[in-house]
Structure 1
Amino acid sequence: MLINIKNREEKVDFKTAVQCGLGRDGGLFLPPYITPMPHIQDLLELPFVDRSQRIMQHLIGPNTDATLIDTLIAQAFNFPLHLSAVDPHIYCLELFHGPTLAFKDFGARFMAQCLQQFNPGKKISIITATSGDTGAAVAHAFYGLENVEVHILYPHNKISPLQEKLFCTLGGNIKTYAVQGDFDDCQRMVKACFQDDEVNAALQLNSANSINIARLFAQVCYYFEACAHLQHNQLVIAVPSGNFGNLTAGVIARQLGAPIKRFIAATNANDTVPRFLHNQEWQPLPTKETASNAMDVSSPNNWPRIMYLLNNDFDALKTLIKPGVKSDKETFSAMQFMHNNGYLSEPHGAVAYACLQNELKEEEVGVFLGTAHPAKFKETVDTVLDVSTPLPEALAQVQDKQLLSVEVTNDTSAFKQLLLQ
């Protein structure tokens, strides 16, 4: 059973939460409490897919067919992930070996599998905002599926050209909108559509952001993979953080029993959470454009989940999560440092690596999440490192395709009317 953390009288099962995305009053769903898993060491000995099946069954509970969940996980997680040594005490958990070369493939593919099974023959509309990688993962997960129409909003001219080409050239049941504004505008427009009864009734809306519980639960699984490889009791994980779904999944993994000592919330100049951890004041500022554009988020949607998971205990929060903030200059320096040591990274991973370098103690081992393939940010990577990054096949196939996006303003009312047409 899941509860709406904003309206705790609303209790739903996993299937209902996946289908509706958001609860009443725009609330997010979570289990009322996280029950630790037994026999963690035995769990860590399992292969990734087998382990993920057990984790997902535990999170979802007995009301959903376990055999079905096993099948959906096996179909969604059908690509590799790697742990690569960057220096003697720091590793990168590479989550970008899926079809759209980003960590979002885990959650998007599992969520698509769930919706297809839970809504046989029923028409639904997915609407989501992206700061870069979610759009491609969601678009490819749902592309060509019957009775599913996908609407993706992204900030115009604020994602990398290859990120844009990866999901804005598909057409068919994938509709993309270049919004004149920033990612927070896109999120606001999506939320407004969910809160509009007319739009909801006409389109049967569902969200594919990390606010959807299926995506969030899927992301929990890869934290255990880092623990399984390293088997270290002083493990620190740095998470490139924008909308904070990834860090939320990490906190859940730890509460399930993953042997993680603490986390570093690595951000760029959009530092709402680090400032909150410093002074306990929630003060989002206007969004700033940075080289790590997928993290250009000033009002992260998932932060209330982290507060709920830690019982709004500020002392526990500060013990478990350390903030880190890096400028573009520091990000580029980290990219250059890693490249000089034989590892190629892009800006988001570099922010996390730089924060980890600052915070890691002598007895600890660090992991940072590699959330996107360096080639997705070819222009930046090539310029900063003076290299020519080869394109993986997925990007080479789309680099010359025509964009099919519609440019729209950030006016919510006008966008609602566009959807209803």
Structure 2
Amino acid sequence: MVYTDTRDKSVKTDFRTAVINGMNKDTGGLYIPVEFPKLASSFINKTPEPGFREIAFEMAKPYVEGEISDSDLMAIIQDAYPFSAPVVPVDKTSYMLELFHGPTCAFKDFGARFMARVMSYFNRNESSTLHILVATSGDTGSAVGSAFHNVPGLDVTILYPEGKVSKLQEKQLSTFDGNVRALKIKGTFDDCQKLVKTAFTDEALRSKLRLSSANSINISRLLPQSFYYMYSSLVVRSRAWGDSKIENPAIIAVVPSGNFGNLTSGLIAREMGAPITGFVAATNSNRTIPDWIATGKYEPRPSVETYANAMDVGAPSNYERIAAMYSLDEVKSLFASYWLDNDGIINSIKNCYERTGYTVDPHGAVGWKAWSDIKNGMMEKLVAGEKNDFTKPGLTPNIPKWANKVISKEALGIILETAHPAKFSSTVQSAIGISPTIPDRLEKVLSLPDKAIPMENDYNKFKEWLLANLK
């Protein structure tokens, strides 16, 4: 497979280079495959549907062809995924895709564990350490830290915004040792991301340290997240008639999004043949992408703090990939977009619990409310001519191509539940009056000592720290 650059289509490189470099240091662009090969229809239409690891292998194979053997790729997948992604029906036309069954209880485990093993594979014959820099608004850092902890030849530095992640998330970030450490930055996630991106384009720094990324700017984290879109859409298609008596449903993936890497992974799955008709780009008050879809103008802005902190991103990196894959008209045809403020998030957690008995986290709550509103009349009103105000919470005034499938009750929604609700216990408890049970793998980190290193939001000081502490 050949990979190019979102900012310079003349760039042609291989998977190893794209993974190890993270982003193109010469242009600041993100790597993207020049094509998205379709899986064989005989595979996609197998009865019963293929399992998660089988899907992962078939989807990954064309992207690593000639660089990772089939046997090594299967070993990477089997080691990365001792867990799967259960699809849980919550009503006749809505399914929760539970992405929190990995070691850090967040969807980032799917990408980070694959990426760590691929990087280790490519770095196995190198004499120097590969230094991973990762900015996090909550869950990415802990997933990357867990995935890379004690992996030979790799070293990880996590940047997170001080005071802007949940207490449990911070414990997951600040308690690593050995080859993983965390810097708590006095600023926002966007500040953390800017520090990392600046480091990648700093020739003087890169002449002394081998650097790579572990955010969704790295293609090896983006591609594996496409696996669960294919898997869940095949599962839902298979069981649709039994659940809802809908034949050949329009499957809509409802994606809580911040940096929009997760949604981009869904687009990759659809390009490869996943039976997904469309997407809902669902976010919090950091509504850069919904505003772009509503107005046609992409205007990044400083992020604001919300209860769904993993989506507190004002300048989403993967806008570049979405814009490289599709025109704005194609995006509008494929996407509905929706956003909620903090009050809406609390009300959605409560509403989901009262209507279904399912406890959803603040990010999944945005997806739940988006799908609930869309299928219960909001899309129909939009099609009928009622113009929503995109500056207020709710559905943005854009009518996707699949709108009539919702109105005619031929659509099913897969809502991505991206993190375990226990990671946001106080928010969930304030909504439903019950504190979620904390999984053992989360509870054990609460007693570990904090080791995070304070850092000013100053690139020169950050660079000075890297040069003094990384070898």
For normalisation by structure 1, the TM-score amounts to 0.97
Corresponding residue for residue 280 of structure 1: 296
**Alignment of 1:390 onto 2:437:** yes
1:61 has 2:65 as partner:
yes
Contact 2:97–2:414, Cα closer than 8 Å, also in 1: yes
Q: What is the DSSP-based 3-state SS (H/G/I as helix, E as strand, rest coil) of the residue aligned with 1:140? A: helix
How many Å separate the matches in 2 of 1:12 and 1:377?
Answer: 41
For the 8 Å contact 1:108–1:137, the answer to whether it is kept is yes
Tell which deviates more after alignment, 34-43 or 351-360: 34-43
Q: Which residue of 1 aligns with 2:395?
A: none
After TM superposition, give the deviation of residue 67 of structure 1 in Å: 2.0
Partner of 2:81: 77
The superposition leaves residues 180-225 of structure 1 with CA deviations (integer Å, 9 ceiling, x where unpaired) of 1100000000001101112212220010001111111100100011
Provide the residue aligned with 1:8 in structure 2: 9
Does the CA contact (< 8 Å) of 1:266 and 1:324 recur in 2?
Answer: yes
In 2, Cα distance between the equivalents of 1:109 and 1:288?
A: 29
Q: Does 2:372 correspond to 1:357?
A: yes
Deviations 1:143-190 (CA, angstroms, capped at 9, x unpaired):
112222110000000001101111210111111011111000000000
Within 1, Cα distance between the matches of 2:370 and 2:211? 38
Aligned equivalent of 1:17: 18
CA distance in 1, matches of 2:457, 2:48: 46
Rounded Cα–Cα distance in structure 2 between residues aligned with 1:36 and 1:233: 21
Determine the structure 2 residue equivalent to 1:38: 40
- The alpha-carbon deviation at position 355 of structure 1 amounts to 0.8
1:222-279 CA-partner distances (Å, limit 9, x unpaired) = 0011112111531011100100000000011111111111000001000011111111
Whole-Å Cα distance in 2 between the matches of residues 42 and 128 of structure 1?
Answer: 39
Cα shift readout 1:277-312 (whole Å, capped 9, x = no counterpart): 1111111222111000000000000111111111xx
Offset of residue 400 of structure 1: 2.2
Aligned to 1:91: 95
Q: Is the contact between residue 426 and residue 435 of structure 2 (CA under 8 Å) also seen in structure 1? A: no
What residue in structure 1 maps to residue 396 of structure 2?
none
Answering whether residue 295 of structure 2 is matched by residue 249 of structure 1, we say no
Where do residues 8-407 of structure 1 align in structure 2 (5 Å cutoff)?
8-23=9-24, 24-39=26-41, 40-42=44-46, 45-122=49-126, 123-231=129-237, 232-310=248-326, 313-340=327-354, 341-360=356-375, 361=406, 362-407=409-454
Structure with higher Rg: it is 2
Q: Deviations over 1:19-59 (max 9, x none)?
A: 11111311111111223222121397211101110011133
Aligned residues with identical type, % of pairs: 39
RMSD: 1.3
Whole-Å Cα distance in 2 between the matches of residues 390 and 273 of structure 1?
A: 34
Q: Distance in 2 between matches of 1:251 and 1:81?
A: 18
Shift of 1:121: 4.9
Change (3 A) 1:37 1:43: farther
Q: In terms of mean alpha carbon deviation, does 34-43 or 201-210 score higher?
A: 34-43
Which whole-Å CA distance do the structure 2 matches of 1:385 and 1:199 have between them?
A: 49
Partners in 1 of 2:290 and 2:453 — Cα distance? 35
* Equivalent-residue separation in structure 2 for 1:43 and 1:11 (angstroms): 38
Q: Tell whether the 8 Å contact from 1:125 to 1:149 is kept in structure 2 after alignment.
A: yes
Distance 1:389 1:274 in 2: 31
| SS at structure 2 position matched to 1:26 | coil
Query: Is contact 2:234-2:275 (8 Å) kept?
Result: no
Say if 1:155 and 1:182, in contact at 8 Å, map to a contact too: yes
Counterpart Cα distance in 1 of 2:350 and 2:250: 27
Q: Distance in 1 between matches of 2:333 and 2:351?
A: 29
Using the alignment, how far apart are the partners of 2:183 and 2:432 within structure 1?
A: 32
Q: 1:138 to 1:286 in 2, by over 3 A?
A: same
Instruction: State the distance in 2 between where 1:211 and 1:44 align.
Output: 35
Gapped regions of structure 2 (runs ≥ 5): 238-247, 376-405
SS at match of 1:141: helix
What is the TM-score normalised by the length of structure 2?
0.87
Aligned residue type for 2:120: Q
Q: Distance in 2 between matches of 1:150 and 1:58?
A: 28
Aligned residues: 419
Distance 1:167 1:290 in 2: 19
Contact 1:121/1:147, CA 8 A, preserved across alignment: no
Which amino acid letter does the alignment assign opposite residue 58 of structure 1?
P
Q: Which runs of 5+ in 1 are unaligned?
A: none
Cα displacement string for residues 390-409 of structure 1 (whole angstroms, at most 9, x for unaligned residues): 21111110112221101111
In 2, Cα distance between equivalents of 1:48 and 1:103 = 15
Over 3 Å counting, the alpha-carbon distance change for 1:28 and 1:214 in structure 2 is same
SS for the counterpart of 2:159 is strand
Q: Is the 8 A contact 2:138 2:165 kept in 1?
A: yes
